[in-house]
A and B are shown apart, each in its own frame.
Chain A
Amino acid sequence: MTFELDATLAARGFEVSLSLGPAETIAILGPNGAGKSTLLSIISGLLRPDSGKAVLGGRVLFDLAADKNIWRAPHTRGTALLAQEALLFPHLSALDNVAFGPRSAGASSAAARETGMHWLTEVDAGDLASRRPGQLSGGQAQRVAVARALAANPELLLLDEPMAALDIHAAPLLRRLLKRVLAGRRAIIITHDILDALMLADRVIVLEDGRISEAGPTRDVLEKPRSRFAAGLAGLNLVAGTVSDAGVTTDQGMVVAGHHDGTVAPGQDGVAVFPPSAVSVFLTEEHGSPRNSFPVRITDLEPHGDQIRVHAGGLSADITPAASADLGLTPGMTVYFVIKAAAIAIYPA
């Protein structure tokens, strides 16, 4: 009983197909405007794609093939949506908010409240039952919203950056809660935070410009990113190009030397990936053992842990504050990024 989706929406340049096992959680990562929310709107029935098909546990959610044109209304889909804002109904108590789903499904008032209370307790919010949403903090409201979504007994839970609007104290609490309740459930979670993907998801999908640019088990994507976006999330530098004997040659003719893992042949598309800590910064071109020395113009300097992160030419380097001061680095300066070939991993794109 899988979830299968295939959808295109030309107006937003959206074209995605994905599938999801019965108890699988996937994280959708991607820059703003990549189509992440569009994806959830299409699945939940709030937005109609131009064409495509979706099947959830044997039920067709929509099938827009020319001769079919099946379109299920949102309330018959079994796909509860949890958004950035809790969006608790302001005129109902926390308990009645959670009981809303069961009540809409036809349960009696008493039974719906019983279910509501069960889920409120499940998210450690039993003591908030009689509160109005206006009397809840952001974190409390989002917990109640989680209970409300779960109480609707969805076959597929859709979470649209549920932690994004929470403060730094409330977010870890909700993340732990989600880890607990998502176990054994089918869910799609949109996030900007790599920690969410690591903790909550079995797989990640990177969405860029309305298309899937990368997909795979979370650990693989983070260890061996193939897209620039995933590399950024994993805190790695990524250079894409064509594999040659020496390394990877970019479209601009820059050659990055590194070590192959044996799975990639010359002429293939490949990526060279290396951590910012492997990059040294020099004011003049070095003539030593490292084979990689690139002149780059500094765009930004920012604190990064106890290091200074130097952004230049689409790459980044981590150096100590003392080194940064010695070199007198400022944005706009041209410096040399030097990387030992041994620190650069090359694998197929």
Chain B
Amino acid sequence: MNRRSGTGYTGIPPWIYAIAAAGAVFVLLPLVAMVAKVNWPQFIPLITSESSLTALGLSLRTSAASTAACIVLGVPLALVLARSPFPGQRLLRAFVLLPLVLPPVVGGIALLYTFGRQGLLGRSLELAGIQIAFSTTAVVLAQTFVALPFLVVSLEGALRTAGNKYEAVAATLGARPSTVLRRVTIPLVLPGLASGAVLSFARSLGEFGATLTFAGSLQGVTRTLPLEIYLQRETDADAAVALSLLLVAVAVAVVGLSYRRPRVEAAPEGVFR
């Protein structure tokens, strides 16, 4: 690592590298252990079984839907939190970030008492003929609930870093606020928005507790990949391991995308200088 950092002085004491290595091993070792446990001859049949493919398809579709919902709800939230100071702003931020620290099962219970049959809104929705709990919609709601903070945090940071100088200039050039948002603000924070969306997608993909509590585990309707893995673990350990590896592969692909973030952000920064 010293050699890779070239001629620049890093200021990192040598023993830090040892602890960092231990940290890396701590994260990698369980993955290695899991890969070692995979029943390779049966791997393809296991992950291409009907229930597996159904669960994977459902996971990808619901995660895409909840990522879209996160963008629709999260972009305005991040803008309001980053740009306009108002009384109660800190409180709002705290509540928006709450799902980050809340156990997902608690989130699921909260959603159940909101959208469930006897819930706060659920009762009115039921009268209107809409039933949300234990449906695919419930999966999307649960995933959106837990993933929204990732998008808001990521985008709010990007908005604060970008500042509002460009927006002020755009306004004096005659651009109305919606035009400024569409043509200046969003393009400037696009890397932050993209990495926030990727994180939200990854969080949605891995969502388990809130989904199980609020949406249940109906095959093809609410049984996403993590739920399928949990179910298989009791009956067919090989299948559970194979599906876990599949989920790891999807997650690595997603993280790989978001790992390009620093380079994407470096481009506009270079421009500012």
Q: Which residues of A contact B (CB under 8 A)?
A: 44-46, 73-81, 83, 85, 87, 89-91, 100-101, 104-105, 132-134, 148-149, 152, 158
Contact flag A74-B179 (CB < 8 Å), given A89-B166, A90-B272: no
Which 5 residue pairs across A and B have the least CB separation, nearest first? A90-B271, A104-B175, A134-B271, A74-B171, A81-B172
Any chain A CB within 8 A of the CB of B270? yes
Asked if B168 and A75 sit within 8 Å, CB to CB, the answer is no
* Cβ contacts under 8 Å, B249 to chain A: none
5 further A-B contacts with Cβ under 8 Å, apart from A45-B171, A133-B271, A134-B271, are A81-B168, A89-B183, A89-B184, A104-B175, A149-B173
**Contacting pair A100 B165 (CB below 8 A):** no
For residue A78, which residues in chain B have a CB less than 8 angstroms away from its CB?
174
A87 and B174: CB pair below 8 A?
no
Q: Looking at the complex, which one of A74, A90, A91, A132 makes contact with B172 (CB distance below 8 Å)?
A: A74
Contacts of A148 in B (CB 8 A): 173
Q: Are B172 and A79 in contact (CB under 8 A)?
A: yes
Instruction: List A contacts of B247 (CB < 8 A).
Output: none
For A134, the chain B residues whose CB sits under 8 A away are: 267, 270-271
Q: For the complex, what is the distance from the CA of A349 to the CA of B8, rounded to whole Å?
A: 59
Whether the pair A89, B170 counts as a contact (CB closer than 8 A) is yes
In angstroms, Cα B171 to Cα A90, docked, is 16
Q: Mark B169-213, 1 if CB is under 8 A from A, else 0.
A: 111111111011001100110100000000000000000000000
Known contacts A79-B172, A100-B173; A132 and B271 CB within 8 A of each other: yes
Q: How far is the CA of A90 from the CA of B268 in the complex (A)?
A: 7
Q: Is the CB of A87 within 8 A of B172?
A: no
How far does the Cβ of A57 sit from chain B's closest Cβ, in whole Å?
A: 15
- Chain B nearest CB from A38 CB (Å) reads 14
Bound-state Cα–Cα, A133 to B268, Å: 10
Return chain A residues, CB-CB under 8 Å to B172. Answer: 44-46, 74-75, 77, 79-81, 152, 158
List of B residues within 8 angstroms of A83 by Cβ: 165, 169
Nearest B-chain residue to A158, judged by Cβ: B172
Complex: A105 Cα to B171 Cα, angstroms: 11
Provide the residues of chain B in CB contact with A74, threshold 8 Å: 168, 171-172
Q: How far is the CA of A79 from the CA of B170 in the complex (A)?
A: 11
Most chain A C-beta atoms within 10 Å of own C-beta, residue among B168, B174, B183, B271? B174
Residues of B within 8 A of A100 (CB): 170, 173, 175, 183
Query: Shortest distance in angstroms between A25's beta carbon and chain B's nearest beta carbon?
Result: 18
